[in-house]
Amino acid sequence: MHDNGTLTNGHPDLTAFDDVDFSEAEMRDVVVVGTGPAGWTAALYTARADLNPLIFMGPEPGGQLTTTTDVENYPGFPEGLMGPEMMDRFQEQAERFGTESRYGTVTHVDFRERPHRLLVDGETPIYAQTVIVSTGASARYLGLENEQRLIGKGVSACATCDGSFFRGETVAVVGGGDSAMEESTFLTKFAEKVYVLHRRDELRASKIMQQRAFDNDKIEFVWNTEVVDVLGEDAVEGIEVINNDTGETRVMDDVTGFFLAIGHTPNTDPFKGWMEMDENNYIQTEGATTYTNVPGVFACGDAQDDEYRQAVTAAGTGCKAAIDAERWLSEHGVAEAPAPDAERQPVEA
Ligand code: NAP
């Protein structure tokens, strides 16, 4: 086996499929994997194209927006709306046109041959003529108990989404990469003061982004510092930090907003070894399309975009994936399920 989970015969480990009987497996034209803005939009468009899409909700139905409060930057909603409500509306709209949604997570795939084989929760078999991967990415958090409890109540991993709630306040950003520089600079539009807390005394960010932050009077760098607790009952009322050089701890009680900028992880584990990905495991798509290296498999949303990561851009690529899948199906037609004991072959593009 290679480091990326690929077997020496060229495809990933398929032992999860060994005991699953595909002879009676449900066959679908379009299976959408993941229910953020990209997935629901892909479902909406394929439903309206009469493709009867089946969408799997995944481990976090609604995706990252369900951990946000007000969404004020989605066009068409001048008053803003709550993240969870927005995703409920996406779902309602997709289902109104015939999308079938189910709880469950696509855990394994076999992309050797059409129709593609999927396993839901490691056991339920599905055949899919086309697959739209919209599994999103997850922001990394420190994993502190109170940090998790206060997500949406002053703890956020998205300055673009939540920065404007901190007008005139003092906020802290954790991280030393380009995201931390970009988010802290953005937050100075609203906040009176922005601390950047970094665990080392040297930034990972590009020089130009560092300089922009250094030049900003509202930003104060706090070096060699890690956060050990987030304080407050229903809102952030401070943070406790440790200087990892001296071991000294202290409370920064002026902080009312706590932003994480320590990277994102795309939720692409089940597809590793099948699909071309970049060094951070984001799925690669061809040019301006949502085509992946696997024929009949399309990727959209944050699982393939580590640059823009907005609800509206994710919805846009979900729309593209639906149109790509629809055209691909009309060009290639549907494939019959193979006889249960037939050898599977690589798919031709
Ligand atoms: P990143 O470059 O991986 O930086 C993550 C930062 O978080 C690092 O400074 C890291 O510290 C810190 N960190 C990680 N885990 C931590 C933990 N548990 N506790 C405390 N600190 C932790 O991630 P990113 O800033 O999100 O950038 C990701 C990619 O997107 C990069 O390629 C970046 O260049 C790109 N990007 C570009 C732009 C732009 O050009 N406009 C904007 C944003 C992002 P260490 O340094 O000690 O490891």
In this structure, are residues 254 and 123 in contact, taking their beta carbons and an 8 Å threshold? no
Which ranges of 151-310 would DSSP assign to H, the alpha helix? 159-162, 178-187, 207-214
Share of the chain above pLDDT 70, in %: 95
Instruction: Kindly give the distance from the C-alpha atom of residue 81 to the centroid of ligand 1, in angstroms, as a whole number.
Output: 29
Q: At what angle do helices 207-214 and 178-187 cross, to 10 degrees?
A: 30
pLDDT at 346: 66
pLDDT at 348: 54
In this structure, are residues 44 and 326 in contact, taking their beta carbons and an 8 Å threshold? no
Nearest CA residue ID for atom 26, ligand 1: 263
Amino acid letter, residue 184? S
CB of 220 closer than 6 angstroms to any ligand 1 atom: no
Residues pairing with 32 in the sheet: 55, 132
Instruction: Kindly give the distance from the C-alpha atom of residue 280 to the centroid of ligand 1, in angstroms, as a whole number.
Output: 12
Residue with tokens 């369900």: 66
Residue 187 region by backbone torsions, left for phi larger than 0, else alpha for psi between -120 and 50, else beta: alpha
CB of 153 closer than 6 angstroms to any ligand 1 atom: no
Task: Quickly state the pLDDT bin for 9 (edges 50, 70, 90).
Answer: low
Residue with tokens 């040297």: 202
Dump pLDDT digits (tens) for 156-189: 998 988 999 999 999 999 999 998 999 999 999 9
- Determine the 3-state secondary structure of 68 from DSSP: coil
Dump pLDDT digits (tens) for 184-210: 999 999 999 999 999 999 999 999 999
Domains and CATH numbers, the chain: 15-138+264-332 (3.50.50.60), 141-260 (3.50.50.60)
Dump pLDDT digits (tens) for 268-293: 999 999 999 999 999 999 999 999 99
Instruction: Kindly give the distance from the C-alpha atom of residue 349 to the centroid of ligand 1, in angstroms, as a whole number.
Output: 36
User: Is pLDDT larger for residue 3 or for residue 36?
Assistant: 36
Instruction: Kindly give the distance from the C-alpha atom of residue 135 to the centroid of ligand 1, in angstroms, as a whole number.
Output: 21
pLDDT at 343: 75
| Structure-block tokens of residue 81 | 């709306």
Residues identified as active-site = 158, 161-162
Task: Quickly state the pLDDT bin for 2 (edges 50, 70, 90).
Answer: very low
Dump pLDDT digits (tens) for 49-79: 999 999 999 999 999 888 766 788 899 999 9
Residue 230 region by backbone torsions, left for phi larger than 0, else alpha for psi between -120 and 50, else beta: beta
Q: Is the pLDDT of residue 12 over 80?
A: yes
What's the CA gap between 218 and 108, in Å, rounded?
A: 48
Dump pLDDT digits (tens) for 99-121: 999 999 999 999 999 999 999 99
Task: Quickly state the pLDDT bin for 7 (edges 50, 70, 90).
Answer: low
The C-alpha angle with vertex 280 and arms to 274 and 284, in degrees rounded to 5, equals 50
CB of 174 closer than 6 angstroms to any ligand 1 atom: yes
pLDDT at 3: 47
Mutate to test the pocket of ligand 1, among 179, 239, 279 (most ligand atoms within 8 A of CB): 179
User: Is pLDDT larger for residue 6 or for residue 294?
Assistant: 294
What is the dihedral sign for C-alpha 298, 301, 303, 306? positive
- Determine the 3-state secondary structure of 47 from DSSP: helix
CB of 308 closer than 6 angstroms to any ligand 1 atom: no
Q: Is the pLDDT of residue 22 over 50?
A: yes
CB of 144 closer than 6 angstroms to any ligand 1 atom: no
295 DSSP assignment = T
**Mean pLDDT score across all residues of the chain:** 94
Amino acid letter, residue 258? F
Average pLDDT, stretch 314-330?
Answer: 98
Task: Quickly state the pLDDT bin for 6 (edges 50, 70, 90).
Answer: low
